[in-house]
Each structure stands twice: as C-alpha cells, then as structure tokens.
C-alpha cells in the first residue's frame, strides 16, 4: 500500500505550523485606534456636557413654572401674593421656617447645586414675598446658575416677562443679549 506523505508545503512555501503564531497589535494599529477614540471623545464629551446643561436648565424652568402656578393659586385664595412661602410646595413640616431660596436639584449641597431660585416682591425686589411689609401685588422669580457660567440665568415675573441670559440679570430685567423662553 502506498502511503501518502502529508506535505506541509503550501504552494511550494514551507508553512510555519511548527511555530506558534505571534498575536497582537502593531504600534501603528494601536496609534490609529487611539487617534480614532480621541476624535470621538473630542466630539462626544462637549456634546454630552451641553445636553446635561440643557437638562439642568430645563428643570429650573419647570420649577419656576411650578412656583408661578402656586403663586397664582395662593393669590386666588388670599387676594395677594404677600406672605407666600415656598415651603407650601417643598416642605411637609408646617412649622418649618420661611424658605427664602430653592436649591436645585432639591436638597443638593456643595458643588452638586446647579441653580438657586429666589422669589421677590415685584414692587420692591429687596423684599421676599414672605416679608410682611412686601406690597404683594406682583412677584419676580429669578433662577441663577451656580458654578456654570455657560448655563442660562432665568427671570419670570407676574407681568409676563420670561427671559434667559448667560450674563447677570436683575429681578426686573434680563439685560442685553437675552432671549425669551
């Protein structure tokens, strides 16, 4: 019987089946992958930060609208905005001291604070509505971004003014370069 001798040559070229193949990436392949990942990160991280910033700003807008709605309900019952206390919305403790500013996210502390919302008497913006000497005929709600100069500051008044600006605002004006919301 003829035995066929197995030939390890493929196409006349000896194979390296006896040696273990080297596995891995070349330095150039690694550099190409790192370059591609850095491009993705350079585009993705700022986009992600912008989306987070928009989400935080949107929550401030929603909170201001919620407060405005409660202010109108309060006036419908009391015929004035005077002595409106945001604790009515945010606290379950009836004996809690008057709330002068709302922190967003709620109950955040330190660097986790994104916005501070304050409510003032529209005729005398130095007085909060909780002050018994406030006129109580109008209100102004201001939301200031904390530690983020790229995010908007918001203003909303009982006279229908709703504006946002990345620079400083007052209780009665958003200043130049503001936009409505």
How does residue 176 score in pLDDT terms, banded at 50, 70 and 90? confident
Looking at per-residue confidence, does 124 or 21 come out higher?
A: 124
Tell me the torsion sign for CA atoms 133, 138, 141, 142.
Answer: negative
Kindly report the average pLDDT of the chain as a whole number: 88
Residue written as tokens 């500013």?
Answer: 101
Residue 21's pLDDT is 65
Give domain limits for the chain: 60-180
pLDDT tens, residue by residue, 30-82: 999 999 999 999 999 999 999 999 999 999 999 999 999 999 999 999 999 99
How does residue 88 score in pLDDT terms, banded at 50, 70 and 90? confident
């Amino acid at each position: 019987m003829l035995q066929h001798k197995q030939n390890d040559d493929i196409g006349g070229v000896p194979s390296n089946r006896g040696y273990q193949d080297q596995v891995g990436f070349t330095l150039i392949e690694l550099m190409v992958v790192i370059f591609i990942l850095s491009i993705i990160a350079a585009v993705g991280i700022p986009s992600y930060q912008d989306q987070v910033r928009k989400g935080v700003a949107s929550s401030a807008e929603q909170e201001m609208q919620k407060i405005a709605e409660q202010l109108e309900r309060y006036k419908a019952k009391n015929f004035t905005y005077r002595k409106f206390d945001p604790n009515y919305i945010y606290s379950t403790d009836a004996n809690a001291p008057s709330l002068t500013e709302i922190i967003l996210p709620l109950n955040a502390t330190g660097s986790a604070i994104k916005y501070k919302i304050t409510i003032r008497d529209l005729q005398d913006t130095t007085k909060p509505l909780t002050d018994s000497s406030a006129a109580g005929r109008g209100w102004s709600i201001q939301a200031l971004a904390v530690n983020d100069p790229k995010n908007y500051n918001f203003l909303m008044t009982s006279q229908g003014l709703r504006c946002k600006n990345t620079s400083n605002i007052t209780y009665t004006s958003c200043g130049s370069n503001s936009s409505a919301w």
